[in-house]
Amino acid sequence: MAKTPTKITARIDYWESKGLSRMKSTKTQIYKTTVEKLGCLIDGAQMFKDEKHTMNDFRLSVNRFTLQALDPNYQPFNKKHVKHMTLSNFLYNPFCPYEFRSQYRNCLKNPPLPVYTKHPDVYQSLTTAYLKTCNNGIKTVEDLSVKDQSNLGWASNKIASFCKNRMGKTNELMGGSDQKIINAFLKACKSFVKYDPIRFDTGLLTRSWVWEKFPNYLYQQGYLLEEKPFSMSGWEAENANT
């Protein structure tokens, strides 16, 4: 049997060093299949045709998957199946629905979700926007602490709820867009702490007083329509036929 190239064994070693599933022998079929898939990943062949994946890409994806598989701070809640996933199936599993066939690709594209995050799309948008607007040296999701990511997960749930309840009351400038609400929220938070980069942290996004002031900020900026005052006569007219 030909010696396995170092660039492949380095990836296997990295995977196993994270506490993920290990292969018992280099003579098994699963080892042979894993080597073949890693070769495709490196060369951009077959299931990874025309794709370029460096060792840094591999480390990033595996690091993110490790959090999903072993860290209770991240989804999924039930880790029974993911923590025993083989490297071969992590790279590519043809028996899964198309979008789930490569956990490697999914993890490379998306960071893990904090355990109580209910709206992944809002979380991703909020995290990306926060990273673009903060000026405290944090550049990537991996630079955020577990607490930071948890705070962003909590805030994303709050934003999703806010959008659901208030989106119909925003004017045309907001365009019915969650992203515009997110951007407005971050701008509001910055203004509340007088643009102090030290005070503009993820904890600020979870403060109750921030959320109490946010609707008024939208009113002041002209983003939120004024609600009509309650009228007993109007209520009686609306409910006359009920």
pLDDT value for 75:
97
Domain span at residue 159 reads 120-221
212 in the same domain as 185: yes
pLDDT value for 230:
39
* Domains in the chain, number: 2
3-state secondary structure 39-104: HHHHHCCHHHCCCCCCHHHHHHHHHHHHHHHHCCCECCCCCCCHHHCCHHHHHCCCCCCHHHCCHH
Average pLDDT over the chain reads 88
Give the pLDDT band (50/70/90) at residue 136. Answer: low
140 in the same domain as 93: no
95 in the same domain as 22: yes
Least confident of 72-76, 134-138, 140-144: 134-138
pLDDT value for 81:
87
pLDDT value for 171:
47
3-state secondary structure 127-161: HHHHHHHCCCCCCCHHHCCHHHHHHHHHHHHHHHH
194 in the same domain as 128: yes
212 in the same domain as 128: yes
Q: Final residue of a domain: which of 109, 133, 150?
A: 109
Average pLDDT over residues 124-150: 90
Q: Does 235 reside within a domain?
A: no
Q: Does 232 reside within a domain?
A: no
129 in the same domain as 97: no
List 170's β-bridge partners, or say none. Answer: 224
The conformation of residue 225, written as its DSSP 8-state character, comes to P
Q: Does 200 reside within a domain?
A: yes
Structure tokens at 94: 């043809």
